[in-house]
């Protein structure tokens, strides 16, 4: 075998090696794109499952969540309003209570540990009052 034939043989082998590597690269790129698609789908799914868990930045509800997180314990609505620097008006109290209670009813973000007292699911606080704000009547209620 001449030197020219040896070089031609090496060229052929290297071209085959490159072709194999290019095929592996194409396969890897397809796999990577599939992983990106799955990741995007899962991300969208988690946002739709907890779309209200993604609170609007700067909103009173987000500020209330942050305050409860800092304190680490459930907080009464009056203390939330005071901590947020909001006026203690009937309207502000009703508005914040209503907004947070909507999350409680859906079982997202907030819990209601006592009347007008809200905690956070992420901190392990539990809801001990019915989500509509009505607690059970005391034993013997309505009996003569």
pLDDT tens digit sequence for 38-92: 887 776 655 444 444 578 888 999 999 999 999 999 999 999 999 999 888 999 9
Count the neighbouring beta carbons within 10 Å of the beta carbon of residue 86: 16
Spatial distance between the Cα atoms of 95 and 2, rounded to a whole number of angstroms: 91
Q: Which of 53 and 20 is assigned the larger pLDDT?
A: 20
Whether residue 78 contacts residue 88, with contact meaning beta carbons closer than 8 Å, is answered with yes
For the domain 55-123, what is the CATH code?
1.10.10
Q: What is the average per-residue pLDDT within 5-34?
A: 94
d(Cα 4, Cα 6) in Å, to the nearest integer? 5
| Average pLDDT for the chain | 85
Q: Please tell me whether residue 72 adopts helix, strand or coil conformation.
A: coil
Q: What's residue 132's pLDDT?
A: 47
- 76 forms beta bridges with 117
Residue spans per domain, the chain: 3-49, 55-123
- State how far the Cα of 111 lies from the Cα of 129, in Å rounded to an integer: 9
- Name the helix (H) or strand (E) containing 111: strand 110-114
Residues above pLDDT 70, as percent of the chain: 83
When comparing pLDDT for 35 and 17, which is higher?
17
Cα–Cα nearest to 99, from 55, 139, 137, 69:
55
Query: Taking 60 as the threshold, does the pLDDT of residue 135 lie above it?
Result: no
Cα–Cα dist 127/59, whole Å = 23
- Please give the model's pTM, rounded to 2 decimal places: 0.54
For residues 119 and 37, which has the higher predicted lDDT (pLDDT)? Answer: 119
Helix 60-71 to helix 90-106 angle (10° resolution) is: 80
């Amino acid at each position: 075998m001449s030197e020219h034939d040896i070089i031609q043989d090496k060229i052929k082998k290297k071209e085959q090696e490159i072709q194999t590597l290019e095929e592996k690269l194409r396969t890897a790129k397809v796999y990577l794109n599939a992983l990106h698609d799955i990741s995007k789908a899962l991300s969208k799914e988690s946002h739709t499952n907890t779309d209200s868990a993604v609170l609007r930045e700067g909103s009173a509800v987000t500020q209330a969540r942050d305050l409860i997180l800092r304190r680490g314990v459930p907080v009464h609505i009056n203390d939330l309003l005071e901590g947020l620097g909001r006026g203690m008006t009937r309207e502000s109290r009703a508005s914040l209570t209503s907004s947070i209670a909507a999350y409680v009813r859906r079982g997202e973000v907030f819990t209601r540990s006592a009347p007008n007292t809200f905690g956070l699911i992420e901190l392990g606080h539990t809801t001990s009052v019915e989500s509509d704000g009505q607690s059970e009547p005391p034993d013997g209620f309505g009996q003569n």
